[in-house]
Every structure is written in structure tokens, then in C-alpha cells.
Amino acid sequence: MRSVINVVLVLLAVVMAYWLYSSIREPIAFKAEKEKRKDAVIDVLKKLQVAQDVHRLVTGKYAGNFDSLTYAIKNGKIENVKLEADPNDPTNQDKFIKSVSYFPALDSLYSLLGAPVNLDSLRYIPYGEGKIFDIAADTLRYQNTLVQVVQVGTRYKDFMGQFADPRYKKYDAFYDPDKQLKFGDMNSPNTNGNW
């Protein structure tokens, strides 16, 4: 009888130890996975932010879809204007020589990012299983001026996989699977990210 009680107590201790380990492991796994996935999404959003700026240099406006963004950067050219003092003007006043050159927008994007990037893959959300970032661009009257606005982003639930469930809020008070991770704003001329 005594050995049966000992075996039951040992089994109970093993079950309790496993339960304790599981209760500690889940929040740690959630936090690590959330940070890893969020960092990957932010990295792509930063590249898209630069790509939108290059698109604006080429076309004068932000891209409202990924096909337009890709096409303009692959095929567009950026104007480079250089003003120099006229060497024939001894006083160096009011006379300048204007020289204009053009260079490929794709080269500009590569130099700004510090490495080549596959433009066709920028539309896909990391860990999103084929989902595409939301993208929008328009013009807006802001403080009596017509300005270009852009917004690109995604919701946490689109890249968090198994952790997209709202029950994980118990491990992070600020976590909301419906919250957007984005840059830009359709209501003001702001291209900052919310990360």
C-alpha cells in the first residue's frame, strides 16, 4: 500500500512539474515569436517606406498599388539637377549653368537600402502565408494645401500565426491582434511608422 501511495505521489509531482513548465514556457514562447515576427515585418515596411519615397521622386506621387510601385522603380529615372556658377561671369552673380542628368530609380533604391532588394517580394507580409500588405495613396487638403498621403501596413493577426488569438493578451497588455503595424497616414501628410 505504501509503495502505491509513493508511485501516485511521484506521478502527481511529475504532472505538476510539467504543468508548471508549460505555464512558464507559453508566455516566453509568445514574446519571443512576437518580437521575431514583428521585427521581420518592420524590416519590410522600412524598405517599402524608402521605395515609396523613390516612387514619389520618379512620378511626383505615392503608389496606390504594388504593381505601380514596382513598375515605376524598375523603369523610372530620377532627375538630378546641378547648378554651377558661370565661369564666364567674373562677378559670380546671378548667372548659373544648369545641368540635368538622369539615373535609374532602381539604382537609387539599392543605394538607399544598402543592398539589392527583390521588389516583387516586398508586397508579401513575412510569416503571412502569402498575404499582401494593405497599401493606399491619395491626395488630401491639409492646412489649405493639397498634399500627397500614403499608408502601408498590416494587422498583427496577419503575421502572428498561432499567436493571433486574442487570448494571448494576457501575456502582453498592449497586444491586440487587430492593431495595425504601419507607416504613413491617410489623414495627414505623415510617413512615420508606428513601431
Query: How high is the pLDDT of residue 131?
Result: 95
Q: What is the mean pLDDT of residues 130-151?
A: 92
How far is C-alpha 92 from the geometric centre of its chain's CA atoms? 47
pLDDT at 93: 66
Give tens-digit pLDDT for 173-183.
Answer: 888 999 999 99
| Confidence at residue 8, expressed as pLDDT on a 0 to 100 scale | 81
Which tens digit of pLDDT belongs to each residue from 46-82? 999 999 999 998 999 999 999 999 999 999 998 888 8
What pLDDT was estimated at residue 91?
67
Full-model pTM:
0.78
Q: 83-98 pLDDT, tens per residue?
A: 777 666 666 666 777 7
In the chain the beta strands, taken as DSSP E runs, fall at 77-85, 96-104, 134-142, 145-155, 180-184
Report residue 172's pLDDT band, with 50, 70 and 90 as the boundaries: confident
% the chain with pLDDT above 90: 42
Residue 56: predicted pLDDT: 92
Q: Sheet harboring 134-142: ordered strands across? A: 134-142, 145-155, 180-184
Q: State residue 90's pLDDT score.
A: 65
